[in-house]
Amino acid sequence: MAARSIASLTVSFGLVSIPVRLFSATEASKSISFNMLHKACGSRLKQQYICVKEEVIVPREDTVKGYEFSKDQYVIFTPEELKAMEEAGTHMAEIVEFVPLATVDPVYFDKAYYLAPDKGGAKPYALLTSALRESGRCAVGRWAARGKQYIVMIRAVEEGLVMQQLMYSGEVRSISDIDIERSEVKPAELKLARQLIDAQSSEKFDPTQYRDEVSARIEAAIAKKVEGQEITMSDAPSAGAQVIDLMEALRASLDRKPPKKGASAPKADDARKPAKRAAAAAEAAPATRKKAKSA
């Protein structure tokens, strides 16, 4: 199924404007979610707000938003005050600067979007894509949407442009905040570690080699549950003996044949097929049970 655009905006740098369409690069719908049910009857549960002081249920229309500035002390904001502080959406991603792509630490990466040229934007879109690719740089700018202002990075990929939301500096902790014990690395240890890295190196990252084994197991379990089967828990894999000597561990790692990436995980499509069959079986199950009962 063809991807659907979620918004239209204009990317501007200098006096050049590029009309583009925005597409989400990720699919949250692929994740498996569970609903909260009443254990006794299996009905869906709904959330309610309870006043901790009066111990009564408070309807949503009687709630307000407040900021806790001190323990149990709040300043209250009306919906109009909150709306006035929101950033007005401009449908514009304004490029502020161009920086070397390698200087943007991926720890700042947030949500990603694909950009495609909109009507009349094919030529400037292709120009910016080629210029970014040849320069090894990315564009950094601002984008306002949904009442907020975001830092965005626009980078060239093989097929076009990706706009990546970035975290603000205050949202990312420094690694210097972590207490990391320093230890001396011996030349022989470093040599073996480099050999191990070389032995398991690939020319490029291929995400299709990795599959979510946990989701596959959950989908298979859901299919069994729908079909009325019992689930048996397999034994946890043994961790193996802990090797204390670092050199011994490196040598053992080099001697061991590395497993093929993603070989043990079923394909996502294969994992979903049983669920469809299970759903059909579930629909037919009442009729089957009725027939058996009458017999």
Residue 83: per-residue pLDDT: 81
User: Tokens representing 290?
Assistant: 């009725």
Cβ-based neighbour number of residue 259 at 10 Å: 8
- For residue 163, give the H/E element and its range: strand 161-166
Greatest alpha-carbon pair distance for the chain in Å reads: 81
Full-model pTM: 0.66
Residue 115: per-residue pLDDT: 96
Nearest-angstrom CA–CA distance, 64 and 81: 12
What's the CATH number of domain 1-26+52-169, 2.60.40.1180, 3.40.190.10, 3.40.1160.10, 2.40.290.10? 2.40.290.10
Residue 281: per-residue pLDDT: 43
Residue 171: per-residue pLDDT: 94
Sole residue written with tokens 């990795």 = 210
- The domain locations on the chain are 1-26+52-169, 187-195+211-231+246-294
Nearest residue to 32 (alpha-carbon basis) of 277, 242, 292, 215: 215
Per-residue pLDDT of the chain (295 residues; tens, 9 = 90+): 677 888 898 998 888 899 999 998 987 656 788 899 999 999 999 989 999 889 999 998 999 999 999 998 999 998 888 888 776 667 889 999 999 999 999 999 999 999 999 999 999 999 999 999 999 999 999 998 877 889 999 999 988 999 999 999 999 999 999 999 999 999 999 999 999 899 888 998 888 888 888 888 888 888 888 888 776 665 655 555 555 677 788 788 878 766 555 544 444 444 444 444 444 444 444 444 444 444 4
Nearest-angstrom CA–CA distance, 79 and 88: 15
Is residue 19 within 8 A of residue 10, CB to CB? The reply is: yes
